[in-house]
Amino acid sequence: MFSDQRIALYKQSLDEALRRYEEIVIFEDPASGKFVQFAVQAGDGEVIVDIPMEQLNETTYNWLLPHMEPMTDTQGNLISLQKTIKADHTQYAAEYTEWVFTKIYQLPENHDVTEQIFT
């Protein structure tokens, strides 16, 4: 799959989730198991990129930290990095997802992705 095809899939999936008031969108590279997930808040007009800590090593965490906000559980344990994006900027969210897969996870330029959209 080429980059422009993946970006189109990301945008289309996020737009569809917003239209249908779905709450979760997950994009995954089946070969590596790496994924990017979104919390979709159509009522608030936002999509939230959420990268669980299990997806990151120290290097990728440090690369993402300047761009995302750390999230903790009630005990103060770091659980994910998040970035809130306005719902009318799904093209940016799609390009950001591609950046995470290719630059942060360092997947091959021709990697495949699957999508899941659900509540």
pLDDT digits (tens, 9 = 90+) for 69-114: 999 999 999 999 999 999 999 999 999 999 999 999 999 999 999 9
The whole-number pLDDT of residue 8 equals: 98
Do 26 and 37 contact (CB within 8 A), yes or no?
A: yes
For the whole model, what pTM was predicted?
0.95
Domain carrying residue 54:
3-118
With b meaning 16 or more CB within 10 Å and e meaning fewer, what string describes 26-59? bbbbeeeebbbbbebeeeeebbbbbbeeebbeee
Query: Considering its fold, how many domains does the chain have in total?
Result: 1
Do 107 and 113 contact (CB within 8 A), yes or no?
A: no
Is residue 20 left, alpha or beta, with left meaning phi > 0 and alpha meaning psi from -120 to 50? alpha
If pLDDT is split at 50, 70 and 90, which confidence band does 115 have?
A: very high
φ and ψ at residue 28, rounded to 5 degrees = -135, 140
Distance CA 104, CA 52 (A): 13
- Residue 65 identity: L
What's the CATH code of the domain at 83?
3.30.1460
Dihedral of CA 30/32/111/117: which sign?
Answer: positive
